[in-house]
Amino acid sequence: MPFVLSRLLARLKLLRSWSTPIAVVVVVFFTSWPLMALAEPAGSELVEPGNFWWYFVVTASTVGYGDFSPETGFGHLVGAYVIVGGIATLTSVFAKLASVIERAKGRRMQGTNTVDASGHTVLLGYTPGRTERVVRQLRADGMRNLVLCAWDDVSTHPMPEDDLDFVRGDLTDEDVLRRAGIDRAQNVLVDVRDDNETLAVAVTADHVTNATHLVVTLRDMEKVSLLTYVDRNVRCVQWHTSRMITEELTSPGIAEMYSVLMTHGGANTYSVPLPDSLGPVLVERCQTALARRHGVNVLAVRVDGELMVNPAWQTELPAGAVLYYVSPERLTPEQIEQALR
């Protein structure tokens, strides 16, 4: 019954203040006690200070243990008064709780709340489908504490079923970014609608953050140089490679490693088939012998059409198996044969 009444009266301003239930309890208690003292016979245990507060609590809450009860008819009326006062108190308490919950839910859905987390990951920008995919990959990698911060055109929380906070506003506004807690975040991803927005948001985010791992997605990687003017520690990732984005967030610096591997003149990646003249060879032999002689690191092998990344060292490779390796230069089949003999 109190809960039903609270739902009916939840919109009354009087019931939205904690002062209302406190006032009701105080008034009912300090009026019922002297009334009960007048109603009950002299020497009644019920009106003793050590007993009446207990009687008041169990009666007002409608629990009614029955260890103390009034003896007179007028005392019964006072007890009924306490019960009604208790129902009124519970009604106002439930109304206040319902109001608090509704406002908190509304702020969460509308993105008007302020995040109080720290050491979390903030995603700046929302793209339907893409952002959900990034979040799923981050969850799979064990990242739990996430905050989504989107532009004003995202009117309500786009992922309410997911356990992540939502903040909405102008992503180039310092106050909005602070509401998302990026000054206390461990990672920040700038993944917005185009590269011009990316540059503007990245500048603001870099200004607000404190030694945060800042990852930025770009359509045109030629604009990386512009971001290095802002901060040389900003990590730039190609926009369409969502998996690389999540890897950079969970393993800082890996995007730069990939970039070096894909840049001509660095530690390049190559492939080469094992010469038929060698016969079966263990991966361990390939790793150790090629590393000593040519500084090679074998990343993967392909055997009978099956690709094995980071193969076990005891894997036996038949003649013709393909090695995928990192090396300062491409090796010839003759160099491979000489090193593995």
Query: In this structure, is residue 323 part of a structural domain?
Result: yes
The four Cα atoms 281, 283, 285, 287 give a dihedral, to 10 degrees, of 140
Number of separate domains in the chain: 3
**314 three-class SS:** coil
Query: Quick check: pTM over 0.75?
Result: no
The model's confidence at residue 99, banded by pLDDT at 50, 70 and 90, is low
Domain boundary among 230, 245, 261: 261
pLDDT at 101: 63
Q: What is the 3-state secondary structure (H, E, C) of 253-279?
A: CHHHHHHHHCCCCCCEEEEEECCHHHC
In this prediction, residues 226-255 reach a mean pLDDT of: 87
Question: Distance (Å, rounded) from C-alpha 136 to C-alpha 123?
Answer: 13
Residue pair 248/220 in contact (Cβ under 8 Å)? The answer is no
User: Domain with 292 in it: what CATH number?
Assistant: 3.30.70.1450
pLDDT at 313: 94
Whether 89 shows a pLDDT value over 50: the answer reads: yes
Whether 54 and 13 map to the same domain: the answer is yes
User: Domain with 94 in it: what CATH number?
Assistant: 1.10.287.70
